[in-house]
């Protein structure tokens, strides 16, 4: 037992960044960073794969702002794959594989697909395949006056005077063609009249509206999804749904089951893998050696996590980040800091200690787009939030994350998390603007124009509890809350 050399551990409230000479302003900084060795984000924010945080709605909004959402796994394989598909089909440049219908399909089928896939229309081909001869197009406008859901698509679709484009059309030309024809969807065909793709005015407008969006090589929004150990059937379904990255999401990533799962995924699929959670140099090295494309750090820092108290295991988060970077930086593998972020100023601290990107749970849980329940309590609005190690979440499917997947009697669970509520924070777009604004301010103070410069040049000072008190608003009763500053009082605690 190593008793004679017990190191100190530090976390966010223990340090501040030291200001340095700067010739840049916050609006001149660039916040692009690596998520994995192959995927780049435009802002260093990731939403946690938790069942009160990330489903398709939040993942779509976050990707539009430049980050990425990770769909949780407390749902069936089919449902998780569907959530991924919803994100991938929300915005496209040119849709090369549009969902199609045949003239013999019913309107009820079309309505169900519209709801499932979050789309507003379909090309119709003679045989219903994505490469069949174009027969028409079905949109919500065509369905407004349908008498019965049992009617066939061929009876209500638009088939005459179809406006189509060539397979090699540019987006600008497609927009001009739709504008002249006063249509919102342009079917692309090859020289034989077979379906070759689809362009929608909504996608073009979204691309223009969200220039910072995180997109894949085909112009679609990026999205990730969580899997447990040995869940190769879930991985296969997610890959089929064209997920961009999978996270092997466990409470203890430095374990044989996790390492074996990483190897199995990498040998079976050409997909980037993030794995965790770990808190040591040895844990990071093991995950990297197994083939992971990014390392996720955090044993117990989350607001709803009780792992450190229940099991007495954990490492303060900034020290854990530094530990992981000792192995990851030399290997060229990005590090993701997962947990413990309470203010925007914690983000540059994590980056200064070496993290490439930040995963948020509780802060995203309070947003409009999260799947948690909206609650009113004592005149204030909150949203429900629970740890994936809480009894409720474990009963819903996350017990394997904590090595308790074989426990049949839910009364025998040993939870490592709690359930509660967090302050309602409004829309994701406004919230992310403030969080990234805090990061940009830090970069300006430190004279760093990029995330990489902040990682290399950050200097820190240790602070006392008195210094921390001095740093917060003090000797005043706050009468008007700021959108980017929370205390126990403003949180309704």
Q: What whole-number distance in Å separates Cα of residue 238 and Cα of residue 89?
A: 14
> Where in 236-372 does DSSP place strands (E)?
245-249, 272-278, 294-297, 335-338, 357-360
Q: Judge contact between 195 and 100, C-beta under 8 A.
A: yes
- Catalytic, 401? Answer yes
Among the options 57, 234, 305, 325, which is catalytic? 305
403 CB-contact burial (10 Å; exposed 0-12 / middle 13-18 / buried 19+) = middle
Cα-flanking dihedrals φ and ψ of residue 358, to 5°? -125, 130
Query: Residue 305 contacts by C-beta under 8 Å, 6 or more apart in sequence?
Result: 339, 387, 389, 416, 417
Place of tokens 């301010």: 441
Please state, as a whole number, how many other Cβ atoms lie within 10 Å of the Cβ of residue 293. 23
Token pair of 141 as six digits? 């406008």
DSSP state of 221: B
Of 337, 261, 335, which Cα lies nearest the Cα of 299?
337
Question: Which H helix or E strand runs over 423?
Answer: strand 419-423
Nearest-10 crossing angle of helices 77-88, 56-65: 30
Place of tokens 């924010």: 45
- Catalytic, 457? Answer no
CA angle in degrees (0–180, nearest 5) for 308-309-310: 100
**CA–CA distances in Å: residue 410 to residues 225, 389, 400, 415, 455:** 26, 13, 13, 10, 44
Q: 3-class SS at 201?
A: helix
Among the options 57, 401, 425, 440, which is catalytic? 401
How many residues in the chain? 493
Active site residues: 305, 401
């Amino acid at each position: 037992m190593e008793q004679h050399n017990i190191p100190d551990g530090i976390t966010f409230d223990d340090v501040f960044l030291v200001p340095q000479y700067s010739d840049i302003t916050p609006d001149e900084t660039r916040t692009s960073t690596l998520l994995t060795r192959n995927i780049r984000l435009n802002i260093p924010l990731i939403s946690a794969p938790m069942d009160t945080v990330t489903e398709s709605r939040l993942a779509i909004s976050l990707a539009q702002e430049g980050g990425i959402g990770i769909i949780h796994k407390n749902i069936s394989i089919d449902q998780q794959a569907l959530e991924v598909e919803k994100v991938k089909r929300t915005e496209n440049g040119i849709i090369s594989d549009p969902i199609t219908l045949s003239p013999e399909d019913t309107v009820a089928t079309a309505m169900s697909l519209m709801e499932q896939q979050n789309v507003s229309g379909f090309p119709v081909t003679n045989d219903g395949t994505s490469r069949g001869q174009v027969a028409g197009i079905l949109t919500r406008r065509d369905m407004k006056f349908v008498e019965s859901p049992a009617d066939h698509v061929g009876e209500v679709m638009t088939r005459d005077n179809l406006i189509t484009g060539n397979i090699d059309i540019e987006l600008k030309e497609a927009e001009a063609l739709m504008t002249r024809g006063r249509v919102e969807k342009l079917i692309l065909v090859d020289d034989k009249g077979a379906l070759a793709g689809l362009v929608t005015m909504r996608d073009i407008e979204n691309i223009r509206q969200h220039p910072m969006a995180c997109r894949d090589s085909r112009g679609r929004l990026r999205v990730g999804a969580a899997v447990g150990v040995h869940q190769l059937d879930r991985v296969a379904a997610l890959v089929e749904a064209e997920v961009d990255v999978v996270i092997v999401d466990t409470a203890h990533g430095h374990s044989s089951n996790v390492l074996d799962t990483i190897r199995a995924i990498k040998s079976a699929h050409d997909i980037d893998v993030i794995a965790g959670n770990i808190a040591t140099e040895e844990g990071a090295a093991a995950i990297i050696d197994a083939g992971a494309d990014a390392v996720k750090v955090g044993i117990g820092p989350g607001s709803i996590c009780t792992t450190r108290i229940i099991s007495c295991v954990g490492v303060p988060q900034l020290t854990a980040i530094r530990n992981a970077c000792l192995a990851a930086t030399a290997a060229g593998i990005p590090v993701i800091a997962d947990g413990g972020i309470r203010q925007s100023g914690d983000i540059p601290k994590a980056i200064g200690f070496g993290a490439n990107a930040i995963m948020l749970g509780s802060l995203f849980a309070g947003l409009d787009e999260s799947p948690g329940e909206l609650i009113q309590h004592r005149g204030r609005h909150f949203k429900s939030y629970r740890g994936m190690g809480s009894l409720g979440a474990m009963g819903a499917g996350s017990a394997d994350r904590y090595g308790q997947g074989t426990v049949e009697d839910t009364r025998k669970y040993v939870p490592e998390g709690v359930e509660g509520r967090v302050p309602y924070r409004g829309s994701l777009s406004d919230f992310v603007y403030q969080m990234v604004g805090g990061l940009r301010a830090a970069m300006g103070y430190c004279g760093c124009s990029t995330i990489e410069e902040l990682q290399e040049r950050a200097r820190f000072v240790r602070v006392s509890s008195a210094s921390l008190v001095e740093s917060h608003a003090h000797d005043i009763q706050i009468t008007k809350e700021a959108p980017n500053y929370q205390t126990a009082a403003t949180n309704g605690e």
